[in-house]
Amino acid sequence: MLILGIETSCDETGIALFHSERGLLAHALHTQIAMHQEYGGVVPELASRDHIRRVLPLIRQVMREAGARLDDVDAIAYTQGPGLAGALLVGTSVANALAFTLGIPALGIHHLEGHLLSPLLASNPPKFPFVALLVSGGHTQLMRVAGVGEYELLGETVDDAAGEALDKTAQLLGLGYPGGPALAQLAGQGRAGQYKLPRPMIEQMHKTGNLDFSFSGLKTAVLLLVRKEAPDAAGKADVAASFQEAIVDVLVAKSLYALEQTGLDQLVVAGGVGANRRLRERLDRAAAEEGCTVFYPEFEFCTDNGAMIALAGALRLDVGVGASLLANAAERSYAFTVKPRWDLSTLVS
Protein backbone atom coordinates (compact mmCIF):
# COMPACT_ATOMS: atom_id res chain seq x y z
CA MET A 1 0.00 0.00 0.00
CA LEU A 2 1.46 3.35 -1.12
CA ILE A 3 0.66 6.47 0.92
CA LEU A 4 1.30 10.07 -0.10
CA GLY A 5 1.87 12.32 2.92
CA ILE A 6 1.31 16.10 2.91
CA GLU A 7 2.35 18.37 5.79
CA THR A 8 1.57 22.12 5.79
CA SER A 9 0.74 22.94 9.41
CA CYS A 10 3.09 25.89 9.88
CA ASP A 11 6.27 26.99 8.11
CA GLU A 12 7.46 23.81 6.39
CA THR A 13 6.01 22.15 3.32
CA GLY A 14 6.68 18.42 3.61
CA ILE A 15 5.82 15.72 1.09
CA ALA A 16 6.62 11.99 1.30
CA LEU A 17 5.80 8.60 -0.18
CA PHE A 18 5.60 5.70 2.26
CA HIS A 19 5.05 2.06 1.33
CA SER A 20 3.54 -0.18 4.00
CA GLU A 21 6.03 -2.97 3.23
CA ARG A 22 9.05 -1.16 1.72
CA GLY A 23 9.06 1.81 4.10
CA LEU A 24 9.88 5.40 3.18
CA LEU A 25 10.50 5.68 -0.57
CA ALA A 26 11.15 9.42 -0.93
CA HIS A 27 10.52 12.68 0.84
CA ALA A 28 11.13 16.39 0.31
CA LEU A 29 10.91 19.43 2.56
CA HIS A 30 10.90 23.16 1.97
CA THR A 31 11.44 25.35 5.02
CA GLN A 32 10.33 28.97 5.17
CA ILE A 33 12.90 30.03 7.78
CA ALA A 34 14.67 32.48 5.46
CA MET A 35 11.39 34.15 4.53
CA HIS A 36 10.25 34.65 8.13
CA GLN A 37 13.61 35.64 9.62
CA GLU A 38 13.25 39.36 8.92
CA TYR A 39 9.97 39.36 10.86
CA GLY A 40 11.37 37.48 13.86
CA GLY A 41 8.70 34.77 13.63
CA VAL A 42 6.14 33.09 11.40
CA VAL A 43 3.76 35.38 9.47
CA PRO A 44 0.67 33.19 8.87
CA GLU A 45 -0.44 34.80 5.59
CA LEU A 46 3.04 34.52 4.08
CA ALA A 47 3.28 30.92 5.26
CA SER A 48 0.02 30.00 3.55
CA ARG A 49 0.99 31.64 0.25
CA ASP A 50 4.33 29.88 0.22
CA HIS A 51 2.69 26.49 0.80
CA ILE A 52 0.54 27.16 -2.27
CA ARG A 53 3.68 27.77 -4.35
CA ARG A 54 5.56 24.74 -3.06
CA VAL A 55 3.18 21.85 -2.52
CA LEU A 56 2.55 20.69 -6.12
CA PRO A 57 6.21 21.01 -7.28
CA LEU A 58 7.30 19.04 -4.21
CA ILE A 59 4.73 16.31 -4.94
CA ARG A 60 6.10 16.02 -8.48
CA GLN A 61 9.66 15.90 -7.13
CA VAL A 62 8.87 13.11 -4.67
CA MET A 63 7.01 11.07 -7.29
CA ARG A 64 10.01 11.33 -9.65
CA GLU A 65 12.50 10.34 -6.94
CA ALA A 66 10.39 7.33 -5.98
CA GLY A 67 9.85 6.30 -9.58
CA ALA A 68 6.10 6.32 -8.99
CA ARG A 69 3.02 7.86 -10.57
CA LEU A 70 -0.03 9.38 -8.91
CA ASP A 71 -2.05 6.43 -10.23
CA ASP A 72 0.10 4.19 -7.99
CA VAL A 73 -0.98 5.96 -4.79
CA ASP A 74 -3.53 4.06 -2.67
CA ALA A 75 -4.35 6.84 -0.18
CA ILE A 76 -3.36 10.37 0.78
CA ALA A 77 -2.61 11.38 4.37
CA TYR A 78 -2.55 15.07 5.23
CA THR A 79 -2.13 17.19 8.34
CA GLN A 80 -5.60 18.29 9.41
CA GLY A 81 -4.46 20.02 12.60
CA PRO A 82 -3.38 21.48 14.89
CA GLY A 83 -1.59 24.40 13.26
CA LEU A 84 -2.17 27.64 11.39
CA ALA A 85 -5.64 27.56 9.82
CA GLY A 86 -4.58 29.03 6.47
CA ALA A 87 -1.55 26.78 6.17
CA LEU A 88 -3.59 23.69 7.06
CA LEU A 89 -6.17 24.59 4.42
CA VAL A 90 -3.55 24.45 1.67
CA GLY A 91 -2.49 20.86 2.35
CA THR A 92 -6.01 19.72 3.19
CA SER A 93 -7.57 21.09 0.00
CA VAL A 94 -4.80 19.73 -2.22
CA ALA A 95 -5.00 16.30 -0.57
CA ASN A 96 -8.76 16.01 -0.93
CA ALA A 97 -8.77 17.32 -4.51
CA LEU A 98 -6.13 14.79 -5.53
CA ALA A 99 -7.89 11.98 -3.68
CA PHE A 100 -11.21 12.84 -5.33
CA THR A 101 -9.59 12.88 -8.76
CA LEU A 102 -7.86 9.54 -8.18
CA GLY A 103 -10.83 7.92 -6.41
CA ILE A 104 -8.81 7.04 -3.31
CA PRO A 105 -9.21 7.82 0.40
CA ALA A 106 -7.96 11.06 1.98
CA LEU A 107 -7.11 10.70 5.66
CA GLY A 108 -6.71 13.65 8.04
CA ILE A 109 -3.80 13.15 10.47
CA HIS A 110 -3.11 14.84 13.79
CA HIS A 111 0.18 16.71 13.51
CA LEU A 112 1.35 15.60 16.95
CA GLU A 113 0.47 11.98 16.22
CA GLY A 114 2.86 12.25 13.29
CA HIS A 115 5.61 13.47 15.60
CA LEU A 116 4.77 10.85 18.21
CA LEU A 117 5.07 8.00 15.69
CA SER A 118 8.08 9.42 13.79
CA PRO A 119 10.67 7.31 15.70
CA LEU A 120 9.04 4.28 14.05
CA LEU A 121 10.75 5.41 10.83
CA ALA A 122 14.14 4.55 12.37
CA SER A 123 15.98 1.30 11.73
CA ASN A 124 15.62 0.39 15.41
CA PRO A 125 12.09 1.53 16.31
CA PRO A 126 10.41 1.25 19.73
CA LYS A 127 7.66 -1.27 20.37
CA PHE A 128 4.29 -0.50 21.94
CA PRO A 129 3.64 0.38 24.72
CA PHE A 130 5.92 3.33 25.51
CA VAL A 131 5.94 6.77 27.10
CA ALA A 132 6.23 9.65 24.64
CA LEU A 133 7.63 13.10 25.37
CA LEU A 134 6.34 15.51 22.74
CA VAL A 135 8.37 18.73 22.79
CA SER A 136 7.83 21.31 20.06
CA GLY A 137 7.29 25.02 19.64
CA GLY A 138 3.68 24.88 20.74
CA HIS A 139 3.39 21.67 22.74
CA THR A 140 5.01 19.90 25.67
CA GLN A 141 3.20 16.69 26.61
CA LEU A 142 3.82 13.30 28.15
CA MET A 143 1.68 10.49 26.77
CA ARG A 144 1.34 6.78 27.46
CA VAL A 145 1.11 5.13 24.04
CA ALA A 146 -0.38 1.65 23.95
CA GLY A 147 -0.79 1.53 20.18
CA VAL A 148 -1.84 3.60 17.18
CA GLY A 149 -4.68 5.81 18.38
CA GLU A 150 -4.38 4.58 21.96
CA TYR A 151 -3.05 7.60 23.85
CA GLU A 152 -3.32 8.54 27.50
CA LEU A 153 -2.32 12.05 28.51
CA LEU A 154 -0.01 11.99 31.54
CA GLY A 155 0.95 15.67 31.68
CA GLU A 156 1.10 18.79 29.54
CA THR A 157 2.15 22.41 29.66
CA VAL A 158 -0.12 24.80 31.53
CA ASP A 159 1.38 27.86 29.83
CA ASP A 160 4.44 28.21 27.59
CA ALA A 161 5.68 25.04 25.92
CA ALA A 162 9.39 24.25 26.12
CA GLY A 163 10.01 25.24 22.51
CA GLU A 164 8.05 28.46 22.93
CA ALA A 165 10.07 29.35 26.03
CA LEU A 166 13.30 28.65 24.15
CA ASP A 167 12.24 30.85 21.23
CA LYS A 168 11.13 33.73 23.45
CA THR A 169 14.31 33.60 25.54
CA ALA A 170 16.40 33.55 22.37
CA GLN A 171 14.58 36.70 21.23
CA LEU A 172 15.27 38.27 24.62
CA LEU A 173 18.98 37.56 24.14
CA GLY A 174 18.96 39.10 20.68
CA LEU A 175 19.35 35.83 18.80
CA GLY A 176 17.93 35.05 15.39
CA TYR A 177 14.91 33.08 14.26
CA PRO A 178 14.34 30.22 14.80
CA GLY A 179 15.34 30.83 18.39
CA GLY A 180 15.67 27.30 19.79
CA PRO A 181 18.63 26.17 17.66
CA ALA A 182 20.32 29.57 18.03
CA LEU A 183 20.00 29.45 21.82
CA ALA A 184 21.33 25.87 21.94
CA GLN A 185 24.36 26.91 19.89
CA LEU A 186 25.06 29.85 22.20
CA ALA A 187 24.54 27.67 25.28
CA GLY A 188 27.36 25.44 24.09
CA GLN A 189 29.74 28.35 24.69
CA GLY A 190 28.46 29.18 28.19
CA ARG A 191 28.59 27.90 31.77
CA ALA A 192 25.34 26.28 32.84
CA GLY A 193 26.01 26.75 36.55
CA GLN A 194 26.72 30.46 36.37
CA TYR A 195 23.15 31.55 37.10
CA LYS A 196 20.61 29.89 39.38
CA LEU A 197 17.25 29.58 37.67
CA PRO A 198 14.03 27.86 38.83
CA ARG A 199 12.99 24.33 37.83
CA PRO A 200 9.20 24.80 37.63
CA MET A 201 6.85 22.20 39.13
CA ILE A 202 9.57 19.71 40.10
CA GLU A 203 8.82 19.87 43.83
CA GLN A 204 5.09 19.60 43.09
CA MET A 205 5.74 16.47 41.03
CA HIS A 206 7.42 14.68 43.93
CA LYS A 207 4.67 15.70 46.35
CA THR A 208 1.59 15.03 44.21
CA GLY A 209 2.74 13.02 41.19
CA ASN A 210 1.74 15.88 38.88
CA LEU A 211 3.40 15.59 35.48
CA ASP A 212 2.29 18.94 34.06
CA PHE A 213 4.82 21.50 32.84
CA SER A 214 5.14 25.26 33.29
CA PHE A 215 7.89 27.36 31.70
CA SER A 216 6.50 30.91 31.84
CA GLY A 217 8.01 31.53 35.28
CA LEU A 218 11.40 30.35 34.09
CA LYS A 219 11.16 32.67 31.09
CA THR A 220 10.26 35.57 33.40
CA ALA A 221 13.22 34.75 35.64
CA VAL A 222 15.54 35.10 32.67
CA LEU A 223 13.92 38.42 31.71
CA LEU A 224 14.54 39.81 35.20
CA LEU A 225 18.09 38.43 35.19
CA VAL A 226 18.96 40.07 31.87
CA ARG A 227 17.49 43.40 32.99
CA LYS A 228 19.51 43.28 36.21
CA GLU A 229 22.82 41.98 34.87
CA ALA A 230 22.85 43.53 31.36
CA PRO A 231 25.20 40.69 30.31
CA ASP A 232 27.88 41.07 27.65
CA ALA A 233 28.41 38.42 24.95
CA ALA A 234 30.04 35.95 27.36
CA GLY A 235 27.36 36.62 29.94
CA LYS A 236 24.60 35.94 27.40
CA ALA A 237 26.22 32.58 26.67
CA ASP A 238 26.09 31.79 30.40
CA VAL A 239 22.43 32.84 30.55
CA ALA A 240 21.63 30.64 27.55
CA ALA A 241 23.45 27.66 29.07
CA SER A 242 21.77 28.13 32.45
CA PHE A 243 18.34 28.47 30.85
CA GLN A 244 18.81 25.43 28.61
CA GLU A 245 19.97 23.35 31.59
CA ALA A 246 16.88 24.34 33.56
CA ILE A 247 14.60 23.29 30.70
CA VAL A 248 16.47 20.01 30.29
CA ASP A 249 16.37 19.29 34.03
CA VAL A 250 12.59 19.59 34.03
CA LEU A 251 12.08 17.48 30.89
CA VAL A 252 14.40 14.73 32.13
CA ALA A 253 12.89 14.61 35.63
CA LYS A 254 9.31 14.49 34.35
CA SER A 255 10.10 11.87 31.70
CA LEU A 256 11.78 9.54 34.18
CA TYR A 257 8.92 9.97 36.64
CA ALA A 258 6.43 9.14 33.88
CA LEU A 259 8.33 5.92 33.16
CA GLU A 260 8.27 5.09 36.86
CA GLN A 261 4.55 5.79 37.20
CA THR A 262 3.60 3.71 34.16
CA GLY A 263 6.06 0.88 34.81
CA LEU A 264 7.36 1.15 31.25
CA ASP A 265 10.99 1.15 30.16
CA GLN A 266 10.80 2.80 26.72
CA LEU A 267 10.73 6.56 26.16
CA VAL A 268 10.08 8.14 22.78
CA VAL A 269 11.14 11.78 22.32
CA ALA A 270 9.67 13.65 19.36
CA GLY A 271 9.16 17.19 18.12
CA GLY A 272 11.57 19.96 17.23
CA VAL A 273 13.08 20.28 20.71
CA GLY A 274 13.87 16.56 20.51
CA ALA A 275 16.78 17.55 18.27
CA ASN A 276 18.44 19.40 21.16
CA ARG A 277 21.73 17.59 21.74
CA ARG A 278 21.96 18.49 25.43
CA LEU A 279 18.50 17.04 26.03
CA ARG A 280 19.45 13.84 24.21
CA GLU A 281 22.70 13.52 26.13
CA ARG A 282 21.03 13.97 29.52
CA LEU A 283 18.08 11.71 28.73
CA ASP A 284 20.30 8.92 27.43
CA ARG A 285 22.47 9.01 30.53
CA ALA A 286 19.60 9.23 33.01
CA ALA A 287 17.55 6.53 31.29
CA ALA A 288 20.51 4.15 31.11
CA GLU A 289 21.00 4.52 34.87
CA GLU A 290 17.38 3.40 35.34
CA GLY A 291 17.61 0.53 32.85
CA CYS A 292 15.42 2.30 30.29
CA THR A 293 15.86 3.04 26.58
CA VAL A 294 15.23 6.31 24.77
CA PHE A 295 14.21 6.45 21.11
CA TYR A 296 14.44 9.51 18.86
CA PRO A 297 13.48 10.22 15.27
CA GLU A 298 16.33 10.90 12.90
CA PHE A 299 17.36 14.56 13.06
CA GLU A 300 15.75 15.26 9.67
CA PHE A 301 12.41 14.04 11.03
CA CYS A 302 12.44 16.08 14.26
CA THR A 303 11.03 19.15 12.54
CA ASP A 304 7.72 19.08 10.64
CA ASN A 305 7.90 16.71 7.67
CA GLY A 306 5.76 14.72 5.28
CA ALA A 307 7.32 11.36 6.17
CA MET A 308 5.78 11.29 9.64
CA ILE A 309 2.34 12.13 8.19
CA ALA A 310 2.59 9.41 5.53
CA LEU A 311 3.70 6.91 8.20
CA ALA A 312 0.84 7.84 10.52
CA GLY A 313 -1.57 7.47 7.62
CA ALA A 314 -0.23 4.03 6.76
CA LEU A 315 -0.51 2.88 10.38
CA ARG A 316 -4.06 4.22 10.70
CA LEU A 317 -5.04 2.50 7.47
CA ASP A 318 -4.13 -0.77 9.18
CA VAL A 319 -6.78 -0.23 11.86
CA GLY A 320 -10.56 0.21 11.89
CA VAL A 321 -11.28 3.55 10.30
CA GLY A 322 -8.62 3.17 7.62
CA ALA A 323 -9.73 -0.33 6.63
CA SER A 324 -13.29 0.83 6.02
CA LEU A 325 -12.14 3.78 3.93
CA LEU A 326 -10.06 1.53 1.72
CA ALA A 327 -12.74 -1.10 1.30
CA ASN A 328 -15.85 1.03 0.88
CA ALA A 329 -15.70 3.80 -1.67
CA ALA A 330 -19.26 4.82 -0.77
CA GLU A 331 -18.09 5.80 2.74
CA ARG A 332 -15.57 8.31 1.44
CA SER A 333 -16.34 11.98 1.64
CA TYR A 334 -14.14 14.68 0.19
CA ALA A 335 -15.77 17.52 2.09
CA PHE A 336 -13.05 18.85 4.34
CA THR A 337 -12.34 21.00 7.33
CA VAL A 338 -9.24 21.82 9.36
CA LYS A 339 -8.66 21.72 13.11
CA PRO A 340 -6.28 24.51 14.21
CA ARG A 341 -6.90 23.33 17.80
CA TRP A 342 -7.11 19.58 18.26
CA ASP A 343 -6.52 17.59 21.45
CA LEU A 344 -4.37 14.55 20.72
CA SER A 345 -6.02 12.57 23.53
CA THR A 346 -9.37 12.69 21.68
CA LEU A 347 -8.04 10.43 18.92
CA VAL A 348 -9.33 6.90 18.74
CA SER A 349 -8.13 4.06 16.53
- pLDDT tens string, the chain, 349 residues long: the values are 999 999 999 999 999 999 999 999 999 999 999 999 888 889 999 999 999 999 999 999 999 999 999 999 999 999 999 999 999 999 999 999 999 999 999 999 999 999 999 999 998 999 999 999 999 878 899 999 999 999 999 999 999 889 889 988 998 999 978 888 999 999 999 999 899 999 988 877 878 889 999 998 999 999 999 999 999 999 999 999 999 999 999 999 999 999 999 999 999 999 989 999 999 999 999 999 999 999 999 989 999 999 999 999 999 998 765 666 666 665 678 989 999 999 887 876 5
Using CA atoms, how far apart are residues 154 and 160, in angstroms rounded to an integer? 17
CATH no., domain 2-116+302-346:
3.30.420.40
Provide the residue type at 252 as one letter. Answer: V
The answer to whether the Cα torsion of 109, 113, 118, 120 is positive or negative is negative
Helix-strand-coil split of the chain, %, nearest 5: 50, 20, 30
Which residues does residue 110 pair with via DSSP β-bridges, in sequence order?
A: 81
Q: What radius of gyration, in Å, describes the C-alpha atoms of the chain?
A: 20
Question: Residue 348's pLDDT is what?
Answer: 62
| Domain map (residue ranges) of the chain | 2-116+302-346, 128-296
Q: What are phi and psi of 11, to 5 degrees?
A: -120, 20
Does the fold of domain 128-296 match that of domain 2-116+302-346? yes
Which spans in 118-263 are helix H? 162-172, 179-187, 202-208, 216-229, 233-262
Exposure letters 69-84 (e unless 16+ CB within 10 A, then b): eeeebbbbbbbbbbbb
- Look at residue 316 in the predicted model and tell me its pLDDT: 93
Which residues have CB under 8 Å from 125's CB, separation 6+?
A: 119, 295
β-strand pairing of 266-270 with 12-19? unpaired
Name the CATH code of domain 128-296 (choices 3.30.420.40, 3.30.465.10, 1.10.3720.10, 3.10.20.340). Answer: 3.30.420.40
Distance in angstroms (rounded) separating the CA atoms of residues 215 and 156? 11
**pLDDT on residue 7:** 98
